């Protein structure tokens, strides 16, 4: 019975607070503006942060877990000592470029390496029944699809016999299927690239792809690609490792005098466009990348014509930078909440003096100090919570506008909404307590005389 009596009494105080807010709608709205914009800013900033985190996770999925990328670069020597001195004087150094043998050596010699896939990319036109379509033809190993988390919706990847024998088989992307086999199952059908007819053995699942991933990590969508075994590419399409006789003759004349430092290194055309290496354990990523770099330098006569990158580490560093940036943005946005709370406290303090006769009247007819505290504390909390709820709606709208207009991925999580709502309620209680105590401490006689 006591509990019901207390609940009824304090609920009556809350009703009085609601009536006071409704009687001063404009003042209450202006009081809540700081909370509105503060919560909206926090919601939108957290949405940007969550979106950035999700984008990094998607990019890690695209580049694969524990992968190392070896790609060719412009030729440069690995040390200032650019010449090797022999009987004939300066000797030119020759690098074969990035080759299939490099990929095989990495796979065979480094125990921490799990899977390796060379990659060769060429632009071609796929032709079928008089229809031509520009495609990217890529020579890869059967491990490529596991390394980059590429899933198939039909068929299978190349088997060992098809890969080792250089057979004319292929796995196609979703755009190729829609272009040539829109109304039929492509598995087992043939498609022509150049002068070679390729049998389709697999169909790749379509997946969302962000352009930023291509720009930053050097990867691209699989939807417009045709994948063939790497040996099929070298045997039936193009092998860039076939050395030009003029290059061999130039190397043979390397002992001639008067050769500049720039002429001391010669690198053939790269047979491969990249090598994707997967390390079995994450903690071995950096060490394995260093071993690969040293191995390739020896194989390439100390000519630095390649680059070894670890996309996952780069992305994690990017995520760390994003987290710091988001903390700063969140802190700046939180300042609006503090300013809004101070505004509530100031207005409520002014309201105490404006309504001092009301306070005296309530005390004269039996209201206790707790009743006055509950009334004014409820008023400030209701203003803050109402502003917080409106701010959440504004924050969601703002996050959506940022996504559409600025092309920045934003994700409004339930956690951020709960946090914003809880903070707005806390601000109302904390900053409303001092005015409530000030109201409750008034002398009823002095209040009635005011």
DSSP per-residue letters across 24-61: THHHHHHHHHHHHHHHHHHHHHHHHHHHHHHHHHHHHH
Are 312 and 66 in contact, with CB atoms under 8 Å apart? yes
Whole-number Å distance between alpha carbons of 190 and 328: 56
- CA dist list (Å): 4 to 146, 192, 365, 369: 65, 83, 21, 20
The predicted structure's pLDDT at residue 192:
92
The predicted structure's pLDDT at residue 315:
66
Are 97 and 241 in contact, with CB atoms under 8 Å apart? yes
- Among the listed residues 263, 252, 445, 298, the one whose alpha carbon sits nearest the alpha carbon of residue 357: 445
The predicted structure's pLDDT at residue 295:
94
- Among the listed residues 116, 239, 124, 114, the one whose alpha carbon sits nearest the alpha carbon of residue 170: 124
The predicted structure's pLDDT at residue 212:
47
The predicted structure's pLDDT at residue 354:
79
Where do the DSSP E strands lie in 156-273? Answer: 169-172, 190-193, 196-204, 225-229, 265-267
In angstroms, how far is CA 299 from the centroid of its own chain? 36
pLDDT tens track, the chain, 450 positions = 466 766 676 777 788 788 888 888 888 888 888 888 888 888 888 888 888 777 776 766 666 678 889 998 876 555 444 444 444 445 567 788 889 999 999 999 999 998 999 999 999 999 988 888 999 999 999 999 988 888 899 999 998 888 888 899 999 999 999 999 988 999 999 999 988 999 999 999 887 655 444 444 556 778 889 999 999 999 999 888 775 555 556 555 554 444 444 444 565 678 899 999 999 887 888 899 999 999 999 998 888 888 998 877 666 776 777 777 777 777 777 787 788 888 888 888 888 877 888 878 888 888 888 888 888 888 888 888 898 899 999 999 999 998 888 878 888 888 888 888 888 888 888 888 888 888 888 777 676 665
The predicted structure's pLDDT at residue 87:
44
| 16 phi, psi to nearest 5 deg | -60, -40
The predicted structure's pLDDT at residue 211:
47
Are 198 and 228 in contact, with CB atoms under 8 Å apart? yes
Query: How much is the pTM?
Result: 0.63
The predicted structure's pLDDT at residue 218:
53
Residues 6+ apart with CB under 8 A from 382: 14, 17, 18, 21, 428
Helix, strand, coil % in the chain, rounded to nearest 5: 55, 20, 25
The predicted structure's pLDDT at residue 261:
41
């Amino acid at each position: 019975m006591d509990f019901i009596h207390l609940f009824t009494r304090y609920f009556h105080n809350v009703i009085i607070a609601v009536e006071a807010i409704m009687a001063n709608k404009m003042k209450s709205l202006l009081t809540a503006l700081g909370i509105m914009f503060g919560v909206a800013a926090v919601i939108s900033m957290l949405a940007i942060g969550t979106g950035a985190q999700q984008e990094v996770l998607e990019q890690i999925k695209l580049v694969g877990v524990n992968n190392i990328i070896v790609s060719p670069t412009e030729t440069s020597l690995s040390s200032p000592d650019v010449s090797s001195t022999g009987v004939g004087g300066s000797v030119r150094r020759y690098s074969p470029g990035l080759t299939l043998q490099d990929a095989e050596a990495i796979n065979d010699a480094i125990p921490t390496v799990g899977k390796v896939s060379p990659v060769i990319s060429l632009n071609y036109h796929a032709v079928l029944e008089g229809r031509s379509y520009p495609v990217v033809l890529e020579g890869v190993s059967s491990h490529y699809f596991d390394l980059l988390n590429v899933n198939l919706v039909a068929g299978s990847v190349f088997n060992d016999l098809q890969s080792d024998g250089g057979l004319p088989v292929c796995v196609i992307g979703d755009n190729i299927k829609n272009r040539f086999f829109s109304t039929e199952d492509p598995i087992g059908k043939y498609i022509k690239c150049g002068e070679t007819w390729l049998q389709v053995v697999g169909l790749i699942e379509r997946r969302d792809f962000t352009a930023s991933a291509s720009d930053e990590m050097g990867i691209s969508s699989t939807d417009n690609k045709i994948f063939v075994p790497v040996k099929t590419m070298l045997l039936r399409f193009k092998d860039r490792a076939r050395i030009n006789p003029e290059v061999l003759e130039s190397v043979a004349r390397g002992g001639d005098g008067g050769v500049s430092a720039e002429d001391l290194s010669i690198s053939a055309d790269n047979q491969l466009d990249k090598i994707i290496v997967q390390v079995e354990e994450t903690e071995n990523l950096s060490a394995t990348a260093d071993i690969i770099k040293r191995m390739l330098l020896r194989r390439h006569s100390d000519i630095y014509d390649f680059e070894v990158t670890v996309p996952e580490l780069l992305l994690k560093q990017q995520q760390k930078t994003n987290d710091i940036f988001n903390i700063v943005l969140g802190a700046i946005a939180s300042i609006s909440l503090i300013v809004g709370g101070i505004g509530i406290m100031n207005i409520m303090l002014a309201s105490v003096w404006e309504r001092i006769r009301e306070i005296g009247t309530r005390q004269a007819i039996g209201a206790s100090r707790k009743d006055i505290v509950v009334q004014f504390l409820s008023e400030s909390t209701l203003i803050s919570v109402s502003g917080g709820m409106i701010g959440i709606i504004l924050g969601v709208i703002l996050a959506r506008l940022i996504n559409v207009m600025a092309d920045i991925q934003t994700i409004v999580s339930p956690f951020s909404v709960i946090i914003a709502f809880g903070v707005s309620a806390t601000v109302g209680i904390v900053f409303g307590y001092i005015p409530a105590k000030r109201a409750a401490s008034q002398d009823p006689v002095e209040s009635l005389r005011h």
